[in-house]
């Protein structure tokens, strides 16, 4: 089970704990992640807001490198990076003139059989929740997370082709496989405000406040995410102290992998008290 | 009479240009308001997404390209996902921002545009985004030194903003890609 791997720029900065927990969980599942050699930034929303062609070509360089490494499908943990890579894939597959333009600029030939997968999709549907369940050492019984998908995984559905865009279930199924009891709520795909955090903090505070208070009202003890920007916004712009996990961290708890204390240290809202109260610290 | 003809001409050409650039058939919009109802930032926009499309149909170019709406859109794609006529409004917003930049129309939300610039320049320098230098660059461009100092410091203290950038080896390749994309 070998995969090409795109960690993304925040892997060693704002979502350090996402990167480390992803690696630990993948090892526990017996898989191997092979980092794309000399990968570059996916471009993020900033790039397609300024120069759309550039926003297609930056991910294309990564696709080109992953394709020629021939280690298997490309796996992307960050929802934002995943979305950018899929936008490029969509243009390469559906717009012949654009494909030729991108190929010429980046200097490669696109192989349409090359697959790009979100880490969550890979774990839930390829590896499968059955295999996840078998690997659980300590059930997350009693933990009530709100599964938050945000925007980039599920929208635009023609591009990401992942789950239901209004009421996705992948993450809920994964949490159930770990023994947790995800709550039902209606804000799982509402936007957190993304990079407006840096220019309009008050707007993000409003959007995050609504998401977090709705999760709490629905009985959640924490929120689970798969995006570095969502995690940072939810954790730093709320006022109720609800812990915000990456889904791989909760897998790590259930699999009882080592090094978890290093993850918790990176959180603005420590999840330790919650985990201790459930005997999961 | 002549001026009316002129207005109609520029009007149609703006609609056609917006259609061509975005690849979206904007004439299909029948103002159901689903886009605006689901938009997380619509309450903060000067023109709501549904009105923006109507204004494009009417050829009101300056107001559209000079609006705060095109910059407050965070590309969450809720609008495009829900549009009954399958108009991808997120893609339209990208096209409108690009047109505004090309036409030299100053961004009504200047700081949002400056942040995007700082972000993209950071990629151009090192191939990857380096938060510390990107944020300093943004602060110098915007001259907004005080906003968000505390969250920034919190991240820094958690060791989440590395001081030194990790440049990639293929920086020349990245530069070439930038040059080719900026020329077009």
Q: Domain-by-domain residue ranges, chain A?
A: 2-118, 137-277
Q: Which two tokens stand for residue A170?
A: 């992948």
Mean pLDDT, all residues of chain A: 97
Does residue A1 belong to the interface with chain B, where contact is any CB pair within 8 Å?
A: no
Q: Between chains, do B184 and A151 touch, taking CB under 8 Å as contact? A: no
Chain A residues inside the 8 Å CB shell of B101 = 50
Same fold, A2-118 and A137-277: no
Quick one: how many helices (H) and strands (E) in chain B?
11, 0
Chain B residues inside the 8 Å CB shell of A61 = 170, 173-174, 177
Give the confidence band of B166 by pLDDT, cuts at 50, 70, 90. Answer: confident
CB within 8 Å of A217: residues ≥ 6 apart: none
Estimate the crossing angle of helix A247-255 against helix A170-177, to 10 degrees: 20
Q: How far apart are CA A130 and CA A189, in angstroms?
A: 26
pLDDT digits (tens, 9 = 90+) for B61-106: 999 999 999 999 999 999 999 999 999 999 999 999 999 999 999 9
B181, B182, B183, B184: best to mutate for the A interface, most A CBs within 10 A:
B181
Please choose, from the candidates A279, A197, A182, A272, the residue with its C-alpha nearest in 3D space to the C-alpha of residue A234.
A197
Q: How far apart are CA A152 and CA A46, in angstroms?
A: 14
For tokens 């995800």, the residue is A182
Q: Which two tokens stand for residue A62?
A: 């990564």
Does residue A155 belong to the interface with chain B, where contact is any CB pair within 8 Å?
A: yes
pLDDT digits (tens, 9 = 90+) for B25-47: 999 999 999 999 999 999 999 99
Choose the closest CB to B111 out of A151, A155, A199.
A199
CATH of B2-103, one of 1.10.1060, 1.10.1040, 2.120.10, 1.20.140: 1.10.1060
Inform me whether the pLDDT recorded for B1 exceeds 60: no
DSSP B132: H
**Alpha helices (runs of H) in B58-129, residue ranges in sequence order:** 61-65, 69-72, 78-82, 89-103, 110-126
What is the rounded end-to-end Cα distance, in angstroms, of chain A? 30
Please choose, from the candidates A170, A77, A181, the residue with its C-alpha nearest in 3D space to the C-alpha of residue A129.
A170
Q: Could you report the predicted ipTM of this complex, rounded to two decimals?
A: 0.95
Domain residue spans of chain B? 2-103, 110-183
pLDDT (average), residues A143-164: 97
pLDDT for position A208: 98
Q: Between chains, do B120 and A52 touch, taking CB under 8 Å as contact? A: no
Does residue B111 belong to the interface with chain A, where contact is any CB pair within 8 Å?
A: yes
Q: Between chains, do A200 and B44 touch, taking CB under 8 Å as contact? A: yes
Chain A residues inside the 8 Å CB shell of B76 = 151, 155, 191, 194
Q: How far apart are CA A177 and CA A134, in angstroms?
A: 9
Q: Which two tokens stand for residue A203?
A: 């707007």
Q: Can you tell me whether residue A151 is helix, strand or coil? A: coil
pLDDT digits (tens, 9 = 90+) for B124-154: 999 999 999 999 999 999 998 877 888 888 8
Chain A residues inside the 8 Å CB shell of B178 = 54
Does residue B92 belong to the interface with chain A, where contact is any CB pair within 8 Å?
A: no
- Nearest residue in chain A measured CA to CA from B131: A13
Domain covering A2-118 in this structure, CATH number: 1.20.1050.140
Strands A2-5 and A32-35: parallel
pLDDT (average), residues A92-113: 98
Q: How far apart are CA A240 and CA A238, in angstroms?
A: 6
Lowest average pLDDT, out of A36-45, A175-184, B157-166, goes to: B157-166
Quick one: fold of A137-277? Answer: Rossmann fold (3.40.50)
| Cross-strand pairs, B138 | none
For A220, what's the count of Cα atoms within 13 Å in the CB-facing half-sphere? 29
Q: How far is B43 from chain A (nearest CA, A)?
A: 10
pLDDT for position B178: 98
pLDDT for position B148: 80
DSSP A12: G
């Amino acid at each position: 089970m070998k995969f090409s791997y795109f960690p993304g720029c925040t892997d060693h900065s704002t979502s350090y704990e996402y990167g480390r927990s992803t690696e630990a969980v993948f090892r526990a599942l017996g898989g191997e992640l092979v980092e794309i050699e000399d990968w570059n930034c996916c471009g993020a929303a900033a790039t397609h807001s300024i120069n759309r062609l550039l926003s297609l070509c930056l991910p294309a360089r990564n696709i080109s490198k992953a394709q020629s490494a021939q280690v298997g499908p490309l796996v992307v943990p960050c929802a934002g990076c995943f979305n950018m890579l899929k936008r490029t894939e969509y243009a390469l597959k559906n717009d012949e003139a654009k494909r030729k333009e991108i190929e010429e600029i980046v200097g490669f030939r696109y192989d349409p059989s090359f697959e790009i997968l979100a880490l969550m999709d890979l774990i839930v549907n390829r590896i499968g929740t059955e295999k996840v369940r078998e690997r659980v050492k300590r059930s997350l019984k009693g933990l009530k997370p709100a599964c938050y998908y945000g925007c980039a995984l599920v929208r635009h559905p023609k591009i990401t082709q992942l789950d239901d865009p209004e009421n996705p279930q992948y993450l809920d199924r994964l949490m159930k496989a770990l023994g947790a009891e995800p709550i039902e709520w209606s804000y799982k795909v509402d936007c957190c405000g993304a990079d407006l955090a840096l220019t309009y903090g008050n707007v993000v505070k409003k959007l995050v406040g609504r998401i977090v208070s709705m999760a709490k009202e629905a009985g959640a003890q924490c929120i689970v995410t798969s995006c570095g920007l969502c995690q940072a916004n939810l954790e730093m712009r709320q006022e109720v102290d609800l812990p915000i996990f990456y889904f791989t961290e909760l897998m790590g708890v259930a699999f009882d992998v080592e090094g978890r204390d290093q993850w918790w240290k990176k959180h603005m809202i420590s999840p330790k008290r919650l985990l201790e109260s459930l005997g999961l610290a | 009479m002549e001026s009316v003809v002129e207005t109609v001409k520029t009007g149609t050409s703006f609609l056609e240009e917006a259609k061509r650039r975005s690849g979206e058939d904007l004439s299909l919009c029948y103002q159901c308001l689903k886009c605006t109802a689901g938009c997380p930032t619509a309450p903060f926009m000067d023109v709501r997404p549904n009105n923006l499309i109507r204004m494009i149909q009417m050829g009101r170019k300056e107001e559209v390209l000079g609006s705060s709406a095109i910059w407050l859109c965070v590309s969450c794609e809720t609008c495009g996902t829900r549009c009954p006529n399958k108009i991808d409004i997120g893609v339209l917003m990208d096209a409108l921002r690009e047109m505004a930049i090309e036409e030299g129309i100053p961004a009504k939300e200047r700081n949002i545009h400056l942040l995007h610039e700082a972000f993209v320049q950071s990629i151009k320098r090192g191939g990857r985004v380096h938060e510390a230098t990107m944020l300093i660059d943004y602060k110098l461009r915007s001259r907004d030194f005080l906003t968000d100092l505390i969250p920034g410091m919190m991240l820094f203290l958690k060791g989440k903003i590395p001081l030194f950038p990790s440049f990639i080896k293929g920086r020349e390749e990245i530069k070439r890609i930038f040059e080719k994309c900026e020329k077009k």
